[in-house]
Amino acid sequence: MAVQVNEENEGKVLIVHVSGKLTTEDYERFVPEVERLVAKHGKIRMLFEMHDFHGWKAGALWEDTKFAVHHYRDIDRLAVIGEKKWQKGMTTFCRPFTKAETRYFEHSQADEARAWLQQEPSAPK
């Protein structure tokens, strides 16, 4: 399976583990979970963990674009855990497509990523 989805913090944090290449079917499993949690909590936080991840198949890339547009304001914080330089670059590239505060972490920083997701946001300046 390319996508595995779990909840933490009473559903306020969605953990998404991805590997291989994402397909349209992966989004059919993943998106309803996001929508259920957003309906329950308003904004959610998300941990997107990539392991041996190779990107998206063509149809899945379109699903990812639709997801980003539809959930632009629904994700408060997004922690991305990866293992390759292009994955860090992808995190930077995605920032304009979400209102989420976004940070990239290496696998060795997984505990730090989880702790960051639990922190209260900084006061606006």
Arithmetic mean of pLDDT, 73-102: 77
The chain-wide mean pLDDT, for the chain, equals: 83
The amino acid that residue 47 corresponds to is L
List the chain domain ranges. 3-115
pLDDT for the residue numbered 97? 61
Q: What are phi and psi of 43, to 5 degrees?
A: -80, 145
What are 6-52's pLDDT values in tens digits?
A: 888 877 888 989 899 888 898 888 888 889 989 999 899 989 998 98
Angle at 21 between CA 96 and CA 86, to 5 degrees: 45
Give a three-class secondary structure readout of 21-90: EECHHHHHHHHHHHHHHHHHHCCEEEEEEEEEEEEECHHHHHHHHHHHHHCCCCEEEEEEEECCHHHHHH
What are residue 17's DSSP bridge partners?
4, 49
Q: 24-41 vs 58-70: helix axis angle to the nearest 10?
A: 10
Thinking of the domain 3-115, which architecture would CATH place it in? Answer: 2-Layer Sandwich (3.30)
Strand, helix or coil for residue 7: strand
